[in-house]
Structure 1
């Protein structure tokens, strides 16, 4: 009997060892580097290797770093993207590290959901040494810029993280010659290091009377934003952020530090502009176009009615169907539709409402606040004409001397430290105008009761007609038909697994599914989408995926970089806290 037990135990150990040999190295395994080897890495990067404690540990008496004097500041900052950005291992969504160490002494705390070590990089060579170390020791490797990541790609257990926040540098040029090219590109250009965030770039550009195609939140960093495509208040005018890129410096999975542009390493240049972050290497700097500043007209628009009426959704569909026409007039918006909504714009009783920030760059002298207001009111008038219910309505215009004057006080969202998933869909002209009944029904189904669904007019002619350097880039082919990017979010309280399952099911199978059915031939924006989107390869990259996969296999044959949902990740899966071959 004892022999049988020992044989079974020996078989189990052998099986476990074999399975672990097919996994990335983890602490305690025989392949995990010794403390001496970690020390050597630390010395090679001037002592910038970190082994951070769990970020909420200062609030937990059981943790070595417990400090009741520091806990209140952690609690105060936890729900802001600025605090999460400044921490070496934390990120926006608690659920992506499995709520393993919240700043609450009444819940468990451990470091299990976080990277074990962090390369606090200040230059490309620091990044190279971290990448080389992970490759040589078969360690799971991730990249964190600012942690402004809605899909959880910048945090992972049992990993080595490359933290790029402190790779600094920002400069402006009048004209730019890509390295290895025999020509120069006219116009203003900006070179930003990987740690640069949008608030700094926009401010410094404003001082030089320039405007950039940049992210909505000031804490967005250039790397993940550009590699995902990057929509902006100026996308409908100039195209996506990825369409502005002239050159990048990148550290490859093989540890090479390369300059990539249309004249050299052109495949990588194509792939990194839209192919997704943490996949083809680590971007350490990027050069992109800038544009002359101009006055900006904005308007806050509200259209609301008593909740629960069919007429509201019919009227909303009529408004939304005018997005292509608004785009033709140079109008974009950040809008949302809400069910059973109250608490803003002086509304005390619940309503169903469409609320939007409309923005119009003043590209022509005839664009005025009066003409802008008239364009919005015309759509509201036509949409509500003959409606069987009464609508509340408001349009409040304002002019700013340049984009920075608006952005400085309106950038966002800047919240973080929650449990949440997003879902999204890109909508083309057909989805918006072909069948208004279907459009109304889709958004009624896609909008949570008591919640909101965003409708961002950030596509249109600027994205459709964009001419990126080299003739094309890897931005989702669906963007080249899209007008609206629509986003839904669901949340739940930490550790409430039943509510998490309920909300996730609603998000995937009800809310997002309604938009998938409305636009079945389109896709979604990879930086703001459902982490477990079915058929993500087609949804996030469309017709570009086969070429992206070919480049991934060529540049990273051993999968030094892996994330989900990311190009070429099909050969591995997460098993508990390990990353193992399929």
Structure 2
């Protein structure tokens, strides 16, 4: 983004508070039968003077949420053709959304209300009304207190890497934690209120800290955290959703690594949650989902020595797209993932009848991806693991030429720097996912292959033995218990045309149809909260399993008035979105 755009994003509310003064927001109509959250244009909405007083209380950190795409629309006050050119080029990048106060990475969550296209409509209706550029816990407390007092909807955004849209809401007050990126390392750690010291290296980071920055800083001292593979992901949403990782088969999920949190509650209290105090909140915030129980202001995580690794680029592909034997071959390969896990292999792959993957220079039908083996620099250790699989493929499908290309890295950060998620954003996209255990993958290889013939998606080996054997502080956390049996996390996506309600609905139906065969393979396993869509059937059970009832009890105790609301999130059944307002269900 050009420097001028970055300055615009961080300008005080008073610099452009009248940007849309000639365009009052629509609220989607009043809901006569129920009470609603205040929205721009409603009688309950705070006056300009009230907002100005709030801005003063934050030290000038309140921003008016002008849609970034407005610079492309000649009728908008912020129109700027030069800036539009820059934005249109960067709209599809993760970096643009992570650095903008209100932009989300997937357009449908702003209802396509202001795309960087002069031929499309533009209004602020699908965006938050105001943003607090929070840099301290006190900023977050003031924001929650203000929203609670004036009955305003709250959302929390760091980078906007949010496939569920929980960090966006029309007419809301958005708490932007992107600049809360402190990092402190520990050679041992004593949780507050506890009478013992944990003999573990650890790091305390801010909720806006991005995984790439943490990896880089910890790499300087030979350490690493359990984290994901996307540079734009920050710890707040990642950890509260559970957090799978290339290191999870060794150490467990990201949420399993949490030693302590500082949290601002719905009452505006700044509290510490760990195994010795606020234990229910501590349990719920580790996997129960973001924007639900409170706002994380810092978190302390276990760190580990960054391992040396042997990586392998693997392709086992027929050159024939939609090869007639794809299902048979895919079923066999997927049945080998429990074996790979038992040998310490983790990785990211695609299983598809029409395969393409960045960095894998082959297309066709089959499987390809990147795999890791920790604590070795001997490429033969990796080749030996794959040897029986390759021999079976060569014997069974002689027309295929499997390729395993190993490479060594001195520490995991070196691998990450070239293999991080290089996808794009700025589109309209639904994801669907499902977790599969060893039984589902091995009991009927033919059925597995047929299921993935329809699914055509990514297969992440990011759970396994480490997640099964993880020992979170306090005895447990709230991540879906199915993760403790998971071998693979399978995820797929469907893009659709913006500003087309029919296409949006058809894409949601298509993504669920693609996932349904996997649900039938493993009906009790569920799916991953952070990589899914708001239309997941029976989402309470799918995302949290038997933990949902306890999560709901904690939600009612720590947020009895539903100051925090999102979908699909624990305890959200007392409210519904009516047009652009959030209204109570009676």
Q: TM-score, normalised by structure 2?
A: 0.92
Supply the distance in 1 between the matched residues of 2:360 and 2:563 (Cα, whole angstroms): 53
Alignment partner of 1:487 is 2:497: no
Q: Residues 495-538 of structure 1: CA distance to partner in whole angstroms, max 9, x if unpaired?
A: 23333333221111x20111111110111110001221111000
Deviation (angstroms), 1:194: 1.3
Query: What is the aligned partner in structure 2 of residue 391 from structure 1?
Result: 400
Query: What is the aligned partner in structure 1 of residue 416 from structure 2?
Result: 407
Supply the distance in 2 between the matched residues of 1:93 and 1:49 (Cα, whole angstroms): 24
Supply the distance in 2 between the matched residues of 1:372 and 1:476 (Cα, whole angstroms): 31
Tell me, yes or no, if the aligned pair for 2:103 and 2:160 is still in contact at 8 Å.
yes
Deviation (angstroms), 1:343: 8.2
Query: Of residues 43, 49, 67 in structure 1, which corresponds to 2:62?
Result: 49
Query: What is the aligned partner in structure 2 of residue 550 from structure 1?
Result: 553
Deviation (angstroms), 1:326: 1.0
Query: What is the aligned partner in structure 1 of residue 384 from structure 2?
Result: 374
Alignment partner of 1:66 is 2:79: yes
Tell me, yes or no, if the aligned pair for 2:131 and 2:176 is still in contact at 8 Å.
yes
Tell me, yes or no, if the aligned pair for 1:198 and 1:217 is still in contact at 8 Å.
yes
Alignment partner of 1:211 is 2:221: no
Query: What is the aligned partner in structure 2 of residue 320 from structure 1?
Result: 334
Alignment partner of 1:500 is 2:501: no
Alignment partner of 1:166 is 2:169: no
Tell me, yes or no, if the aligned pair for 2:34 and 2:584 is still in contact at 8 Å.
no
Q: Secondary structure at the match of 1:357?
A: strand
Tell me, yes or no, if the aligned pair for 2:212 and 2:231 is still in contact at 8 Å.
yes
Tell me, yes or no, if the aligned pair for 1:377 and 1:395 is still in contact at 8 Å.
no
Query: What is the aligned partner in structure 1 of residue 21 from structure 2?
Result: none
Supply the distance in 1 between the matched residues of 2:419 and 2:396 (Cα, whole angstroms): 35
Supply the distance in 2 between the matched residues of 1:209 and 1:342 (Cα, whole angstroms): 34
Q: Residues 33-84 of structure 1: CA distance to partner in whole angstroms, max 9, x if unpaired?
A: 1111111110110010110211101111111001112112111211111110
Tell me, yes or no, if the aligned pair for 1:316 and 1:383 is still in contact at 8 Å.
no
Alignment of 1:116-515 (within 5 A): 116-305=129-318, 306-341=320-355, 351-362=364-375, 368-387=378-397, 390-447=399-456, 453-508=457-512, 510-515=513-518
Distance 1:346 1:202, change over 3 A: closer
Supply the distance in 1 between the matched residues of 2:502 and 2:522 (Cα, whole angstroms): 30
Supply the distance in 1 between the matched residues of 2:579 and 2:531 (Cα, whole angstroms): 25
Distance 1:312 1:21, change over 3 A: closer
Structure 2 portions without partners, runs of 5+: 1-28
Deviation (angstroms), 1:414: 4.4
Structure 1 portions without partners, runs of 5+: 1-15, 448-452
RMSD of Structure 2 on Structure 1 (CA): 1.6
Deviation (angstroms), 1:409: 2.0
Alignment partner of 1:575 is 2:584: no
Deviation (angstroms), 1:24: 0.7
Tell me, yes or no, if the aligned pair for 2:283 and 2:476 is still in contact at 8 Å.
yes
Supply the distance in 1 between the matched residues of 2:458 and 2:357 (Cα, whole angstroms): 17
Please say which of residues 370-379 and 214-223 is displaced more in the overlay. 370-379
Instruction: Give the paired residue count.
Output: 556
Deviation (angstroms), 1:404: 0.7
Alignment of 1:103-122 (within 5 A): 103-122=116-135
Deviation (angstroms), 1:347: 6.0
Supply the distance in 1 between the matched residues of 2:230 and 2:503 (Cα, whole angstroms): 29
Distance 1:295 1:344, change over 3 A: closer
Query: What is the aligned partner in structure 1 of residue 13 from structure 2?
Result: none
Please say which of residues 301-310 and 417-426 is displaced more in the overlay. 301-310
Query: What is the aligned partner in structure 1 of residue 16 from structure 2?
Result: none
Query: Of residues 540, 543, 548 in structure 2, which corresponds to 1:540?
Result: 543
Tell me, yes or no, if the aligned pair for 1:216 and 1:413 is still in contact at 8 Å.
no
Supply the distance in 2 between the matched residues of 1:276 and 1:438 (Cα, whole angstroms): 33
Q: TM-score, normalised by structure 1?
A: 0.93
Tell me, yes or no, if the aligned pair for 1:140 and 1:160 is still in contact at 8 Å.
yes
Distance 1:188 1:344, change over 3 A: closer
Query: What is the aligned partner in structure 1 of residue 524 from structure 2?
Result: 521
Tell me, yes or no, if the aligned pair for 1:300 and 1:358 is still in contact at 8 Å.
yes
Supply the distance in 1 between the matched residues of 2:360 and 2:538 (Cα, whole angstroms): 43
Supply the distance in 1 between the matched residues of 2:279 and 2:356 (Cα, whole angstroms): 51
Runs of 4+ in structure 1 off by over 4 angstroms are: 342-348
Deviation (angstroms), 1:375: 1.3
